[in-house]
Structure 1
Amino acid sequence: MSLTLYMHPLASFCQKALMALYENDTPFRPHLVDLGDEAARDAFYKLWPIGRFPLLHDAARDCLVPESSIIIEYLAQHYPGPVRLIPADADQAREVRLRDRFFDLYVHEMMQKVITDRLRPAGEHDHFGVAQAREKLRVACNLLEQDMKTRTWAVGESPSMADCAAAPALFYANLVMPLDDAHPHTAAYLRRLMQRPSFARVLAEAQPYLHLVPREPAHG
């Protein structure tokens, strides 16, 4: 098998790449990286010193491909399947890439800022940064809510790379800021994504690890 994906089922950007692989039933070998294991961590950092996954290795082409969006672009170019995640039309392809960036930068990263802050030790929390991230996440969801009033998928009439980016970003964002409260159309979009067989499989594989996601601290 030519393709190996270095990943962890709980990691949201890994879930984005996994959804793309599952959309087209692309054969690959998952390599679970446990960063809590010193030997596994050292081996991964030797392979990719930046130390972030997902990372795709293509043995047939002797190529390492980092970053979820670039992995999906690489798969579309070298391992295309029946589901075209990058449209052939140049204008639609640009819109997909824009939406992909929107979900990664304005939803995904803001969500991660809030959730990872919960892992910090007492006295080391970034309250100002978290407040900023929550506000940016709210603004992004407000923009998305307007779009999803008339759309089924992020761009066009079928799923694309943008939806692969949206699925994990919104799934975890819903834990930070429940979407049903003020963003019902976005919440309905998330439910469509969760019913998509590719992302349903991603979530099933993540299920054994979801208890590790830090929840909102109790108040009162």
Structure 2
Amino acid sequence: MPLQLFGHPFSSYTWKALIAFYENDIPLTFRNLEEPGAAQELEARWPLKLFPVLAEGDRTVVEATAVIEYLHVHHPGPVALIPADPDLAVQARMLDRIFDNYVMGMMQKPVIDAMLPAERRDPIALDQAMTRLDTIYAWLDAHLAGREWAVGDSFTLADCAAAPSLFYADWVRPIPEALASLRAYRARLLARPSVVRCVEDARPYRHYFPLGAPDRD
């Protein structure tokens, strides 16, 4: 049976999984959750209703990182998103968590805050999130100095996580011009064909972004 990926074109974590599919040209049926019946099928497989969710026959894989690991094991291609070198594999997995937790996790806080009524907003938590973004931006800039990709010499799981994380984070907390390595890395990611495809497919949904999507990307 063909692989099915349940998700939404504007979802950062859906992008992360789709990038892995596109990098290795893995055939899939994309189940856009705005299509009739897709959300119900997702819930039947994963009651938390979080996405993306991968389905292959009776198998269900949840969480974008696990989806990419599954593809690496069961549908390998020329782009090895999990490095063969075990030390580089550890680094790729570490950077994957850094991008998910400390870039995407922090940028989601102002987005969620903007969706709350004024009396439920938390300016202290918002300030803490922005401070953490500033801190991780500086750390990533130092890490990326002299590098093309996040780990080793090739595109990996870490870059799959980085692309949507930095795409959206720069919308809510622009990366300072002084952080040239990080800004150049984001530009390289957005020029990657697999990422370009995600950006373009998500473009019709930009009105969903509660803070207002900028025109620069």
| TM-score of Structure 1 vs Structure 2, range by shorter chain | over 0.9
2:156 to 157, 160, 177: 160
- Structure 1: distance between partners of 2:122 and 2:11: 22
Letter paired with 1:85: L
Q: Which residue of 2 aligns with 1:52?
A: 50
Calculate the aligned-residue CA RMSD, in Å: 1.6
Cα deviation, residue 94, structure 1: 0.5
Cα deviation, residue 43, structure 1: 4.1
- Structure 1: distance between partners of 2:33 and 2:84: 34
Letter paired with 1:140: I
What TM-score, normalized to structure 2? 0.93
- Structure 2: distance between partners of 1:90 and 1:171: 29
- Structure 2: distance between partners of 1:109 and 1:66: 18
Q: Which residue of 2 aligns with 1:118?
A: 114
Cα deviation, residue 124, structure 1: 1.5
Unaligned runs of 5+ in 1: none
Query: Can you list the C-alpha shifts for 1:103-138, whole angstroms capped at 9, x where unaligned?
Result: 011111001112121111222112221111111111
- Structure 1: distance between partners of 2:199 and 2:149: 19
Letter paired with 1:10: F
- Structure 2: distance between partners of 1:124 and 1:83: 45
Q: Are positions 1:86 and 2:82 aligned together?
A: yes
Q: Which residue of 1 aligns with 2:21?
A: 21
2:95 to 75, 96, 99: 99
CA contact (8 A) 2:3 2:27 kept: yes
Q: Which residue of 2 aligns with 1:148?
A: 144
Q: Which residue of 1 aligns with 2:201?
A: 205
Letter paired with 1:190: R
Cα deviation, residue 40, structure 1: 5.1
Cα deviation, residue 180, structure 1: 4.1
Q: Which residue of 2 aligns with 1:11?
A: 11
- Structure 1: distance between partners of 2:110 and 2:143: 25
- Structure 2: distance between partners of 1:110 and 1:124: 18
What TM-score, normalized to structure 1? 0.92
Identical pairs, percent: 43
CA contact (8 A) 2:6 2:38 kept: no
Unaligned runs of 5+ in 2: 213-217
Q: Are positions 1:67 and 2:67 aligned together?
A: no
Cα deviation, residue 70, structure 1: 0.4
Equivalences, count: 212
Q: Are positions 1:139 and 2:142 aligned together?
A: no
- Structure 1: distance between partners of 2:163 and 2:123: 27
From the superposition, tell whether residues 80 and 43 of structure 1 become closer, same or farther in structure 2 (CA, over 3 Å).
closer
- Structure 1: distance between partners of 2:41 and 2:75: 27
CA contact (8 A) 2:42 2:53 kept: no
- Structure 1: distance between partners of 2:2 and 2:168: 31
Query: Can you list the C-alpha shifts for 1:29-52, whole angstroms capped at 9, x where unaligned?
Result: 0001139x8x65444322211110
- Structure 1: distance between partners of 2:71 and 2:41: 25
